[in-house]
Structure 1
Amino acid sequence: MDDTDDDAALLARFAAGDGRAAATLLDRQGPRLMAFVRRMTGGDTAEAEDIVQEAFLRLWKKAGEWDAGGAAQVSTWLGRVAANLAIDRHRRAARLTGLPDGYDAPDPVPSVAARMIAAEGASALDAALAALPDRQRQAVVLRHVEGYSNPDIAAMMGCGVEAVESLTARGKRRLAELLRTEDPR
């Protein structure tokens, strides 16, 4: 197997029974996807690992029918599936706390001192990201933390490039507000 194979070729090799192709694809896509999902879950590593694992399981199930010539790249498909899983889990957790169906509660943001004590070293940026609405956080993290292009983000999020630009701009403005109000100086 050639390590320079594109992701779709690796997926096709996996579908044909090549386990090394799956390992290569996991090594290639796993760390970046894990970093993204970890931020989507507010730094909950265990939750992020579960989501990344589920996203890859869904990819492995789809391997035999993957359309290499299709519009989706493996990386953007994984990102979209993982983001949807993270958002679904967040909403499910909110419903379990007794909130009415359809209510998408914002992430609770404890005081700066409480966050610093509880998180031991968690950055103010991570806390501010956690306070953003799901779609804004997703767009900002994908664009400015993970470095995806707007068209790739649009494919992951299932929206247009203009919507990504709007979500990113609103998210950046809100981050600036949160970081300004949390500065104790």
Structure 2
Amino acid sequence: MPLADLLARAAMLAAPSDATDLAPLRAFLFGRLRASGWAPTGALRGRPPGLADSDEALLVAFVRGDAAAFDALFDRHAARLNGYVRRRLRLEPADAADAVQEAFLVLFQKAEAVLAHEPVNVPGFLFGTLRNKAVRVLAARSCEAAEGPPDAQELSLDEDGLTALLRRETAERLVSLLERTCNPLEQEVVIMGLDDRDGPEIALALGITPNHVRQLRHRALRKLREALSQVS
């Protein structure tokens, strides 16, 4: 499983629940779904879905226009998505609401691909989409820690040696280290680096400067080195 998917799974399992402002968020999302092509109709609405209904069945019904199925999926997953972006990532309320809405919009748009994947993993897809949105928000709002090259203390980090050490970790342990120590933007820089993507390529993918990539990489690797030293 790719590291990004494992990180999304870790976020999903650790996400706190937060129902703050979910009612207006749901109403706005309902409108955005209709604007994007979703056409809920009364004829397709059956009995209100219950707790026993699977995410797979609810997603099929939701895409077909069952508003009750949309409500059930939203009620089942929105509070934890909201809790993750508000309390774990500390996004501003407007950014948090937009991230949660985008997760459900992309789920609707890519429902066919989600349903074709075995096993069907609706919460995993929602959290993966949410994480991607969070990375974009953090990249857009993040400022350079400092101008110019890293200082002497940063240069002493031995990035190559630490990167080689990280490559020897199991995927599960690496994900645990990243989730505990780094924010999603820092995690993304480290993952891309482990995939042998260079600074300019990472900068282009994230919409930031190569110098900013260097700063984020140094910061993330320093945190990881400290975390590793505490458990060694």
Compute the TM-score of the two structures, normalised by the length of structure 1.
0.52
2:177 alignment partner in structure 1: 166
Which deviations, in whole Å up to 9, do the C-alpha atoms of 1:48-78 show, x marking residues without a partner? 0011011111011122443265245111111
How do 1:13-162 and structure 2 match up within 5 A? 13-67=61-115, 70-71=118-119, 73-94=121-142, 160-162=171-173
Q: Which structure has the greater CA radius of gyration?
A: 2
Q: Which residue of 1 aligns with 2:157?
A: none
Partners of 1:71 and 1:99 lie apart in 2 by 45
Q: What SS does structure 2 have at the residue aligned with 1:5?
A: coil
CA gap of 1:40–1:89, structure 2 versus 1, over 3 A, is farther
Give deviations 1:67-97, integer Å, cap 9, x for gaps.
26524511111111101111111112226x7
User: Which consecutive unaligned segments of at least 5 residues does structure 2 have?
Assistant: 1-46, 148-169, 183-222, 227-232
Equivalent-residue separation in structure 1 for 2:97 and 2:86 (angstroms): 8
RMSD of the TM alignment (CA)? 3.0
Equivalent residue letter for 1:8: E
Contact 2:114 2:121 in 1 (8 A): no
Q: List runs of 5+ in structure 1 lacking aligned partners.
A: 101-158, 178-185
Write the distance in 2 (CA, Å) between the matches of 1:59 and 1:17: 14
* 1:16 Cα offset (Å): 2.0
% identity of equivalent residues? 32
1:8 to 56, 61, 67: 56
| TM-score, normalised by the number of residues in structure 2 | 0.42
Q: How many residues get paired?
A: 114
Query: What is the CA–CA distance in structure 2 between the aligned matches of 1:93 and 1:62, rounded to whole Å?
Result: 27
